[in-house]
Chains A and B, each alone.
Chain A
């Protein structure tokens, strides 16, 4: 005789399905895809604006590009196919950001490499400072440490805190 599955497992599966429904809802909707793809392309008129943000006052290109995008999305072309078609027609600068392939990948990687190196450097500096010998103190004086220092900290905390 099989044991009935715990309620918790059932609830978890429902939650996962619910999350998937929310996450995928609208993903295939043409208007949503048009909007997403349109924000990944640049208008080539020289305004240096995202295609769907170009206010095309006197712009000779954005209307045509938007129509091309709408046609491709309505035809059911995949995102990569749409991007490739635009790159082939208008050049790589039509994409609003570097791709994740080849040398373009370095554009994305370098900031995170810098972050990791920076964190490492800060940790190194912190450790070096912590291990630095204490500065020399004049004769007759002694540094306050340990429990005595904690007493003074508590006193200061009481005098300045709630």
Chain B
């Protein structure tokens, strides 16, 4: 298997080099002969996918066969590892994850090259750019991070096993989603660079690029939130985002991609921001590679990072090369990216997109600055500092709140110019609604729990929560008013009910109304984030004997029992906790502590009771000297809304990709009279 895999990777590299060189030749010297060469380049690019799939299959089969002669399999698998995690061995280590990246890249290339008839010349340029990126990753996996390297020394009976923190169902889905998002940024970049090089006439390339970006953005969103959910469900600290450098590395291309999905509308509708969009697409791709560099180089310490290796240097050179190539063609050809229109008013949708983009880019800068500051501090003053949650919360949250305001205001501004009268008409009732929500939150009794009984003057986090929840109400009401107004117009014309009219409205402009649903999903997730200001926790540090109780919020937790278990792969200790609320038993939770035998590592498995109001989150932290469990309880309000919000975002994204319904045919009254048939005919 190792030989098959290694051969397949070499073959893939050779095909990529041919695809790049032949494609470049065909584009540089047009003619019938070069067209044939170009077609062979395209087919070679398609064949790369087959070769990389073969290599991936070889690695996965090796894992299932427990082939510990391969060093990668020895270090990341063991005999008793469950099947799904053996499959996930493909991306659980440095070398395998590079192979996985190459696999997904070749898969995207496969689809792109099959769809070349959409615009043969543009797709040919994009294919060459993609082949260039493929060469890098295939060279990396062949010469610097080969997953088929053999283990030195005698053959071992069993492997080291997978890191216990990775032995969780989301290990099977989170990395693939994340990588699909990261790798997917290559495709819009390939189209953008291709359009720049060929001075593409017209805007078809931006429509193609936007659709690809929406897909990869949706996948990256899914990947990021799966990671957050995993952290929440596994790590046992009760949180879902730690501002770890690797987490930040996923956020940065996401922020640029989000900015692009907004500003692209200005290019499509008004022929403006062409230069800016070109840089945003490049930036999304460059930041995805830069994030990978951070993860793998060891230059920034992170609990997520792969082991430090020399491939960081490879990535540094690659980043420099793609930047140099892009800058070269930008300087050479940027003249054809002139805007076609001028801005007519500061109170317009164009302006709101400009400020929206400013805030997204600023957030990205803040995250990048915080991620790199420990290294900068070490270089300047000789000692590292930590830049953790207190920094990001203080700096990023105000910017996020400004974005929330724009989310409410922007969609209701007209293109070119909006009158103050229109502003007042559109925003009056949503603003009243937002103020009412704020007042309710402040006037209700704190005993209701969560954000009720808010006292924003007592803590800055409470103030931020109040702002976030009020602005969430503002955005929701403006979105609802958009659906209501449009639905009412259609209902008036067609006689349909409101719901059917809103469905028809959405189908007529899926991008716009799908976008509104995405905004609503984001707002719902923000409501979930706002609940973190009201988190509580309590620890029974002396241990709980049978029948012992602890209270948190409205809950009483009773230790019914505690025990131990022993399986081939893992040993566990766990407590059985009965949960009471207002004297009535509502649930039983079983927080566990696990010990993975192969890797000799311990981890926790929190037990969570989740409802729309709050999560009760129990962690088994250890045992006292009598063997009694030490339990820590967290009460986390509104967390479930984060996951619900993400689902809504994904539904909205999918909806926005659906083609619009054809416009209804209008029959004028004059044509009706012309074709009228007499109701009665005489004898």
Name A's B-contacting residues (CB within 8 A).
19, 22-23, 25-26, 39-40, 42, 46-50, 52-58, 91-99, 102-104, 107-108, 110-112, 114-115, 118-119, 121-122, 125-126, 129-130, 132-135, 157, 160-162
Minimal beta-carbon separation of A105 from chain B (angstroms): 11
Cα separation A95 to B387 with both chains bound (whole Å): 8
Q: Is the CB of A92 within 8 A of B380?
A: no
Cα separation A111 to B395 with both chains bound (whole Å): 7
CB-defined A-B contacts under 8 Å, sample of 19: A52-B537, A54-B237, A57-B593, A96-B391, A97-B394, A98-B386, A107-B369, A107-B391, A111-B366, A114-B362, A115-B362, A118-B362, A122-B355, A126-B346, A126-B354, A134-B342, A135-B342, A157-B422, A162-B485
Minimal beta-carbon separation of B270 from chain A (angstroms): 11
Q: Is the CB of B390 within 8 A of A107?
A: no
Q: Is the CB of A118 within 8 A of B361?
A: yes
Q: Is the CB of A50 within 8 A of B389?
A: yes
Residue of A nearest to B348 (CB): A126
Q: Is the CB of B632 within 8 A of A55?
A: yes
Cβ contacts under 8 Å, B272 to chain A: 129
Contacting A at CB under 8 A, from B443-500, are 455, 457-458, 485, 488-489
Contact with A along B354-369 (1 / 0, CB 8 A): 1100100110011001
Cα separation A115 to B380 with both chains bound (whole Å): 24
Minimal beta-carbon separation of B616 from chain A (angstroms): 16
B340 at the A interface (CB under 8 A): yes
B side interface size, CB within 8 A? 61
Cβ contacts under 8 Å, B433 to chain A: none
- Interface stretch of the complex, out of B107-115, B191-199, B238-246: B238-246
Cα separation A55 to B620 with both chains bound (whole Å): 9
Contact with A along B369-409 (1 / 0, CB 8 A): 11001100100110111111111001100010000000000
Cα separation A108 to B387 with both chains bound (whole Å): 10
Cα separation A22 to B442 with both chains bound (whole Å): 13
Cβ contacts under 8 Å, A52 to chain B: 537
Cβ contacts under 8 Å, B488 to chain A: 162
Q: Is the CB of B391 within 8 A of A130?
A: no
Give the most central of A42, A97, A134: most B CB within 10 Å.
A97
Give the most central of B380, B458, B488: most A CB within 10 Å.
B458
Nearest 7 CB-CB pairs, A to B?
Answer: A129-B343, A55-B236, A96-B388, A97-B390, A97-B391, A132-B342, A53-B237
Q: Is the CB of A92 within 8 A of B365?
A: no
B312 at the A interface (CB under 8 A): no
B119 at the A interface (CB under 8 A): no
Q: Is the CB of A57 within 8 A of B390?
A: no
Cβ contacts under 8 Å, B239 to chain A: 53
Option from A22, A111, A135 in Cβ contact (under 8 Å) with B365: A111
Contact with A along B16-39 (1 / 0, CB 8 A): 000000000000000000000000
Given A96-B388, A107-B369, A129-B272, 7 more A-B residue pairs with CB atoms under 8 Å apart are A56-B622, A92-B383, A95-B386, A107-B377, A114-B365, A118-B362, A126-B354
Cβ contacts under 8 Å, B422 to chain A: 157
B619 at the A interface (CB under 8 A): yes
Name B's A-contacting residues (CB within 8 A).
235-239, 242, 244, 272, 301-303, 339-344, 346, 351, 354-355, 358, 361-362, 365-366, 369-370, 373-374, 377, 380-381, 383-391, 394-395, 399, 422, 455, 457-458, 485, 488-489, 537, 593, 602-604, 619, 621-622, 632
Q: Is the CB of B385 within 8 A of A115?
A: no
Residue of B nearest to A95 (CB): B386
Option from B351, B603, B632 in Cβ contact (under 8 Å) with A126: B351
Cβ contacts under 8 Å, B388 to chain A: 42, 50, 96-97
Cβ contacts under 8 Å, A46 to chain B: 303
Q: Is the CB of B339 within 8 A of A40?
A: no
Cα separation A121 to B354 with both chains bound (whole Å): 10
Residue of B nearest to A125 (CB): B354
Cβ contacts under 8 Å, B370 to chain A: 107
Q: Contacts A55-B619, A130-B343, A162-B485 hold; do A122 and B354 have CB atoms under 8 A apart?
A: yes
Q: Is the CB of A93 within 8 A of B458?
A: no
Q: Is the CB of B455 within 8 A of A57?
A: no
Q: Contacts A118-B361, A135-B341, A160-B489 hold; do A48 and B303 have CB atoms under 8 A apart?
A: yes
Q: Is the CB of B457 within 8 A of A23?
A: yes
Residue of B nearest to A18 (CB): B457
Residue of B nearest to A47 (CB): B303
Residue of B nearest to A19 (CB): B457
Option from B340, B351, B369 in Cβ contact (under 8 Å) with A135: B340
Give the most central of A54, A110, A121: most B CB within 10 Å.
A110
Q: Contacts A126-B354, A130-B343 hold; do A95 and B385 have CB atoms under 8 A apart?
A: yes
Cβ contacts under 8 Å, B385 to chain A: 92-93, 95, 98-99, 104, 107
Cα separation A58 to B351 with both chains bound (whole Å): 53
Cβ contacts under 8 Å, A107 to chain B: 369-370, 373, 377, 385, 387, 391
Cβ contacts under 8 Å, A122 to chain B: 354-355, 358
Cα separation A52 to B303 with both chains bound (whole Å): 18
Residue of A nearest to B301 (CB): A48
Cβ contacts under 8 Å, B374 to chain A: 93
Q: Is the CB of B621 within 8 A of A162?
A: no
Residue of A nearest to B351 (CB): A126
Q: Is the CB of A115 within 8 A of B399?
A: yes
Minimal beta-carbon separation of B188 from chain A (angstroms): 24
Q: Is the CB of A96 within 8 A of B390?
A: yes
Give the most central of A19, A55, A98, A110: most B CB within 10 Å.
A55
Cβ contacts under 8 Å, A129 to chain B: 272, 339, 342-343
Minimal beta-carbon separation of B363 from chain A (angstroms): 9
Cβ contacts under 8 Å, B593 to chain A: 57
Cβ contacts under 8 Å, B383 to chain A: 91-92
Cβ contacts under 8 Å, B366 to chain A: 111, 114
Cβ contacts under 8 Å, B390 to chain A: 39-40, 96-97
Cα separation A107 to B603 with both chains bound (whole Å): 34
Cβ contacts under 8 Å, B394 to chain A: 97, 108
Cβ contacts under 8 Å, B354 to chain A: 122, 125-126
Cα separation A57 to B394 with both chains bound (whole Å): 29
Q: Is the CB of A25 within 8 A of B387?
A: no
